[in-house]
Chains A and B, each alone.
Chain A
Amino acid sequence: MTPRRIVLLAVAALAIALPWLLQALGADFYLSMASRIVVYGIAATALNLLLGYGGMVSLGQAAYFGLGAYVSGVLLTEGMQGALPHLAATVVICGLVALAIGAISLRTRGVYFIMITLAFAQMLFYLANSIKGYGGDEGLTVRSRVQLPLGLDLRDAETFYWVALAVLALVLWGLSRFVGSRLGQAVQALRDDEVRAEALGLPTFRVRLLVFVVAGVIGGVAGALNVNLQGYVSPASLHWTQSGTLLVMVILGGAGSLWGGVLGAAALLLLQEGLLAYTEHGEFWTGWVLLAVVLFARQGLAGIAPALKRRLARGGTAP
């Protein structure tokens, strides 16, 4: 067994056992925090696929996070609780919206791409504000939850945590599989040099669109989970500051690293929570941390361990 695999198993065991550990420590309160980290970890991983692997800097990823939450929230409001309809509706609606937005935005590059993805997300934000039937600007509160098979109840904090954790594991496994695949290699080549990839026969527009849609669908699933966690969704989840938060998570955690999204989500949420105990100006100090990471750890948190290992290896062989 490789050291890497041992670490992975240890992390997985710890993550699975977390509810019991917290209970033993009498810190049950933190379980909902852990669930939020997992949900945001999924959303940030989706953006990481788009940004870190696909090289597409989108400032509109909240569109899918918020849309997924609204899809599930509206279905619950209408009395539909089956897991399958929720999943299908989230995947289909977020996928189609991402397809439409991607088909237009991907014709632009750089700053224009950032602005156009931002504009589309803001359109959804104002749309959600204006739909009075589902809460309008006050947001939508849902009392029921999606019903899972085997009698699993998402209202139960531990069950929710484990279900979300399973989804996160699935997403990470899929991403690692994708990165090692032929298409993953093509996406990497495309990020390096789009003109060359196209000149060699890669249909670059289609490949980017595929990545864009997959990122949208995963973001939507994270959103659907979020409304089942919070029991509430508001237009704020579609706002561009939400897209910004996801972007900060990815950059903090390490864009283009498998664990970047999760690490970033954990770091940012824990940091904000931790700072809350000491100061009202949490955002201010968060800014400093982000600055330090961008300046001194370009690969984000996920890049720190490999960099240390390299430094140690160099130090070991130095005379």
Chain B
Amino acid sequence: MSTGALLDVRRLCKRFGALAVTDEVDLQVHAGRIHALIGPNGAGKTTLVAQLAGQLPSDSGEVRLDGHDITRLVAHERARRGLLRSFQITRLFRSLSVLDNLVFAARAAGKGNFSAWRARRHDDEAHARATQVMQRMGLAGKAAAAIDELSHGEQRALEVGMALAARPRLLLLDEPMAGMGAEESEQMAALIAGLRQDCAVLLIEHDVQAVFRLADTVSVLVNGRLIASGEPDVVRSDPGVVAAYLGDQEDA
């Protein structure tokens, strides 16, 4: 059965003991769309991302990327098929410069690009891609900087840029705005909106305001189950969603 979706998730499960962290999740992400996944803390969003990206094996269910079954593939194989992710807690290569972080990212997803002999400083395609991403993420001029010299906002921008440099077809963004100030969040939102031309995005984000402005589709995850999925306006007024999640947010 084909739905034409770029990412097609069917009845995906993950249990830790008796606890179903991901409980029969069905999810479709379409090309060129921003699909947001929201839910209260502990809903299982990060676990789901780890299952989709291949860091965590699923107990049952199926994940298809562009019609191909990728359920059994490990993380690097999924990355090479264009499924890339960013992390909620920044994971950068601290002994490499900003440019080298991006060059590695651009190269890693390509095939057979790791010569043990050829010098890394060849003006190749990976460098061009890295420079381009650096401009786009507002990191121009920081090429030679060490990771520790970047501000928190710049590190978060690079965190997303790493996944983008790898030329994703589907980008999983795990709370890209975590810990950002209002102005930085605004810039990040604009950047994510612009990603539609590059790839499909599955966006996990706590900032509900930003999500409803950015997303084409919103899904709500509560206790490992998807309780609603659809256009932002429909989901926003869904009584179940209001009761389980959005209501709490307004109280807080």
Q: B59-92, CB under 8 A of A: which get 1 and which 0?
A: 0000000000000001110011000110100011
> Is B105 engaged at the interface, CB distance under 8 Å to the other chain?
yes
List B contacts of A181 (CB < 8 A).
Answer: 115-120
* Contacting residue for A193 out of B93, B100, B103, B121, CB 8 A: B93
The minimal Cβ–Cβ distance linking B106 to chain A, given in whole angstroms, is 9
Taking a contact as CB atoms under 8 Å apart, the answer to whether B114 and A182 are in contact is: yes
With A and B bound together, what is the CA distance between A259 and B92 in angstroms? 27
Knowing A184-B120, A185-B96, the reply to whether A200 touches B114 (Cβ < 8 A) is: no
Closest to A190 in B: B93
Taking a contact as CB atoms under 8 Å apart, the answer to whether B120 and A198 are in contact is: no
List B contacts of A183 (CB < 8 A).
Answer: 114-116
> Is B94 engaged at the interface, CB distance under 8 Å to the other chain?
yes
With A and B bound together, what is the CA distance between A178 and B74 in angstroms? 27
Q: A291-308, CB under 8 A of B: which get 1 and which 0?
A: 000000000000000000
* Contacting residue for B166 out of A184, A201, A207, CB 8 A: A201
> Is B109 engaged at the interface, CB distance under 8 Å to the other chain?
yes
Taking a contact as CB atoms under 8 Å apart, the answer to whether B118 and A188 are in contact is: no
> Is B202 engaged at the interface, CB distance under 8 Å to the other chain?
no
Knowing A182-B114, A189-B104, the reply to whether A201 touches B119 (Cβ < 8 A) is: no
Taking a contact as CB atoms under 8 Å apart, the answer to whether A200 and B108 are in contact is: yes
List A contacts of B114 (CB < 8 A).
Answer: 182-183, 186, 202, 207
With A and B bound together, what is the CA distance between A201 and B78 in angstroms? 7
Within 8 A of B (CB), among A188-238: 188-189, 191-193, 195-204, 207, 210
With A and B bound together, what is the CA distance between A199 and B174 in angstroms? 13
With A and B bound together, what is the CA distance between A176 and B152 in angstroms? 34
* Chain B: number of interface residues, binned into ranges: 35 or more
With A and B bound together, what is the CA distance between A278 and B223 in angstroms? 71
Taking a contact as CB atoms under 8 Å apart, the answer to whether A182 and B118 are in contact is: yes
Taking a contact as CB atoms under 8 Å apart, the answer to whether B109 and A201 are in contact is: yes
Knowing A197-B108, A204-B76, the reply to whether A180 touches B93 (Cβ < 8 A) is: no
Taking a contact as CB atoms under 8 Å apart, the answer to whether A196 and B87 are in contact is: yes
> Is B113 engaged at the interface, CB distance under 8 Å to the other chain?
yes
Closest to B101 in A: A189
The minimal Cβ–Cβ distance linking B119 to chain A, given in whole angstroms, is 5
* Contacting residue for B93 out of A177, A178, A196, A203, CB 8 A: A196
* Contacting residue for A199 out of B85, B95, B107, B118, CB 8 A: B85
Knowing A180-B119, A200-B109, A200-B162, the reply to whether A189 touches B75 (Cβ < 8 A) is: no
> Is B132 engaged at the interface, CB distance under 8 Å to the other chain?
no
Knowing A186-B104, A201-B166, A202-B108, the reply to whether A193 touches B92 (Cβ < 8 A) is: yes
Question: Chain B at the A interface: mostly helix, strand, loop or mixed?
Answer: loop
Taking a contact as CB atoms under 8 Å apart, the answer to whether B96 and A192 are in contact is: yes
With A and B bound together, what is the CA distance between A201 and B168 in angstroms? 11
Question: Chain A at the B interface: mostly helix, strand, loop or mixed?
Answer: helix
The minimal Cβ–Cβ distance linking B90 to chain A, given in whole angstroms, is 10
Q: A158-188, CB under 8 A of B: which get 1 and which 0?
A: 0000000000000000000110111111101
Taking a contact as CB atoms under 8 Å apart, the answer to whether B75 and A182 are in contact is: no
Knowing A186-B114, A202-B108, the reply to whether A192 touches B79 (Cβ < 8 A) is: no
With A and B bound together, what is the CA distance between A232 and B117 in angstroms? 36
> Is B157 engaged at the interface, CB distance under 8 Å to the other chain?
no
Taking a contact as CB atoms under 8 Å apart, the answer to whether B93 and A199 are in contact is: no
Taking a contact as CB atoms under 8 Å apart, the answer to whether A201 and B96 are in contact is: no
Q: B201-217, CB under 8 A of A: which get 1 and which 0?
A: 00000000000000000
The minimal Cβ–Cβ distance linking B125 to chain A, given in whole angstroms, is 12
List B contacts of A197 (CB < 8 A).
Answer: 93, 104, 108
List A contacts of B41 (CB < 8 A).
Answer: none
Knowing A192-B94, A196-B87, the reply to whether A201 touches B117 (Cβ < 8 A) is: no
> Is B55 engaged at the interface, CB distance under 8 Å to the other chain?
yes
With A and B bound together, what is the CA distance between A188 and B15 in angstroms? 34
List A contacts of B104 (CB < 8 A).
Answer: 185-186, 189, 197, 200
Knowing A199-B75, A202-B76, the reply to whether A192 touches B93 (Cβ < 8 A) is: yes
List A contacts of B85 (CB < 8 A).
Answer: 199
Taking a contact as CB atoms under 8 Å apart, the answer to whether B118 and A193 are in contact is: no
List A contacts of B55 (CB < 8 A).
Answer: 195, 198-199
Closest to B85 in A: A199
List A contacts of B100 (CB < 8 A).
Answer: 185
- Interchain Cβ contacts under 8 Å between A and B, 14 examples: A177-B117, A181-B115, A181-B120, A182-B113, A184-B120, A185-B103, A188-B95, A189-B101, A193-B94, A196-B87, A197-B93, A199-B79, A200-B104, A201-B108
- The chain A residues found within 8 Å of chain B, CB to CB, are 177-178, 180-186, 188-189, 191-193, 195-204, 207, 210
Q: Which A-B residue pairs are the 4 nearest by beta carbons?
A: A201-B79, A201-B109, A200-B108, A183-B116
Q: Can you add 19 more A-B contacts, CB < 8 Å, to A185-B104, A198-B76?
A: A180-B121, A182-B116, A183-B115, A185-B120, A186-B108, A186-B114, A188-B95, A189-B93, A192-B93, A193-B92, A196-B162, A197-B108, A198-B79, A199-B87, A200-B76, A200-B163, A201-B79, A201-B110, A202-B76
